[in-house]
A = this chain, B = another copy of it.
Amino acid sequence: MRLTKQTNYAFRILMYCSANGGQLSRVAEIAKAYGVSEPFLFKILQPLNEGGLIETVRGRNGGIRLAQDASDITLLDVVRLTEDSFSMAECFDREDADCPLVETCKLSAALREALNAFFAVLAKHSIADLAKPNDSIGFLLGLERRKDAIVAA
């Protein structure tokens, strides 16, 4: 049982944007900060954009930023957009289930209860809890150095 790499980088993209405050973040910068390719990040941006978590500004000075306050974006909002499936058992999708116990079995209900407990914790944590403007995360991502450079210029 794992979360996908896409989900993990979705969290990190949103943390980067949060650490960067209302400023636009370039995908090239985010890719560099995390050591991944831009095409990989673009694929993850699509569901985040369609799901209303980020907004994209096109053009030479374009980039991405959070479309909502970081404290309003929970970890559950993210996994709902980026994970393909939370199928804990074949019988979660009843149409596919060919188990002879499908009508009476309590396994599915127990697994659903466990999954709901997992979701409830994710719903308690927001992107703002993980990264805010001017905290150490921004420094580690190179955002503070960039601001210094701007001030010095």
Contacts and interface: CB of A to CB of B under 8 A. Distances in A.
A1 B85 contact: yes
A121 interface: yes
Interface residues of A, number: 47
Interface in A2-32: 2-5, 8, 11-12, 15
B110 A140 contact: no
Contacts of A1: 1-4, 79, 83, 85-86
Contact of A110 (B83, B105, B107, B129): B129
Contacts of A120: 117
A153 interface: no
25 contacts: A1-B3, A1-B4, A1-B83, A2-B85, A2-B87, A3-B88, A5-B90, A11-B107, A12-B99, A35-B98, A75-B110, A75-B114, A100-B140, A101-B141, A104-B137, A104-B140, A105-B137, A106-B130, A110-B121, A110-B125, A114-B118, A114-B119, A114-B122, A117-B118, A118-B118
